[in-house]
A = this chain, B = another copy of it.
Amino acid sequence: MEATRVELAELAPDAQAYLGQLAYLTLVLFENLGRGAAVAPTVSGKSRLGRVAAEVLEIHEAVLAELESRRIDPTEAMEPYRAVLDDFQRRTEGDDWHEILITCYLTSGFLLDFFAGLAAGLPGGLSDRISALLSDDDAEDLLVEELRESIDGNPRLASRLAMWGRRLVGDTMLVARSALRLEDRADGEERIEPIFTELIAAHTRRMDALGLTA
């Protein structure tokens, strides 16, 4: 992700916009995990989603603390991103346990990767703290374990989830794109291309980890 980090840094929004979006995004991810836990068919599946939610909420709380230390009201910082992210959530929510689960895995993987890249464009100390916060990916492993247990030996489910994964990536890219500061750049579009090429490669690796074709 090194090249991507440099490219992304130049398009990063200011600290308030970055933190406000990341704070609201983590709430959306938490809700998806809660919805998944509610329909989990097993105790272990429910408990795994609980552990992933704990990590996502740890990010949320750390981001709120960053806002508060800058004397920015967290609610005001999140508000401008609510409509876009709520809409994203509705379009990607999934109909059953497996779709919700793969939504949690793919959208949080893609978007937290993306925000980790963008963090390079934040002021020094903040940039380091946020990068450290977003570098932990135990959560991803838990979701992969849960998904593999379902998919292995179930080719019909695999093909349905592969399709759902392709459907998700478009909406996920759009919501990531909306976080970039592009207005004041004539060369915006060409700068975005290599960034998304790398993010999509990471998405493909996530699908591969489940034995699914991206």
Chain A interface (Cβ < 8 Å from any Cβ of B): 23-24, 26-27, 30-31, 33-35, 37-38, 42-44, 46-47, 50-51, 53-54, 57-58, 60-61, 64, 74-75, 78-79, 82
Closest-CB distance, A179 to chain B (whole angstroms): 17
Each complex incorporates copies of this chain amounting to: 2
Question: Which residues of the partner chain B approach A50 to less than 8 Å between Cβ atoms?
Answer: 26-27, 30, 57, 60-61
Out of B54, B60, B79, which one reaches A58, CB within 8 Å?
B54
Q: What is the distance, in angstroms, from A117's C-beta to the closest C-beta of chain B?
A: 24
| Contact partner, A75, options B31, B43, B64, B74, Cβ 8 Å | B43
B38 & A34 in contact (Cβ 8 Å cutoff)? yes
On whether the beta carbons of B43 and A37 are closer than 8 Å, the reply is: no
A60 engages B54 (CB within 8 Å)? yes
Shortest Cβ distance from A82 into B: residue: B43
List, in ascending order, chain B residues with CB within 8 A of A31's CB.
Answer: 34, 37-38, 46
Q: Are A78 and B43 in contact (CB under 8 A)?
A: yes
Q: Which residue of B lies closest to A77 (CB)?
A: B43
- Given known pairs A53-B30, A53-B57, A57-B57, the reply for A47 and B74 (CB within 8 Å) is yes
Q: Are A75 and B27 in contact (CB under 8 A)?
A: no
- Chain B residue, CB-CB nearest to A48: B75
A78 pairs with B47, CB closer than 8 A: yes
Q: A53-B57, A54-B58, A57-B53 are in contact. Are A37 and B30 (CB under 8 A)?
A: yes
Q: How far is the CB of A141 from chain B (nearest CB, A)?
A: 15
A27 to chain B, nearest CB (A): 5
Please give, as numbers and ranges, the residues of chain B lying within 8 Å of A74 by CB-CB distance.
44, 47
Q: Tell me if B43 and A51 are in contact (CB < 8 A).
A: no
* Residues on the B chain within 8 Å of A46, using CB: 27, 31
Contact partner, A27, options B30, B37, B61, Cβ 8 Å = B37
Instruction: Tell whether, in the assembled complex, residue B34 and residue A47 are in contact, meaning their CB atoms are under 8 Å apart.
Output: no
Please report the C-alpha to C-alpha distance between residue A30 and residue B52 in the assembled complex, in whole angstroms. Answer: 12
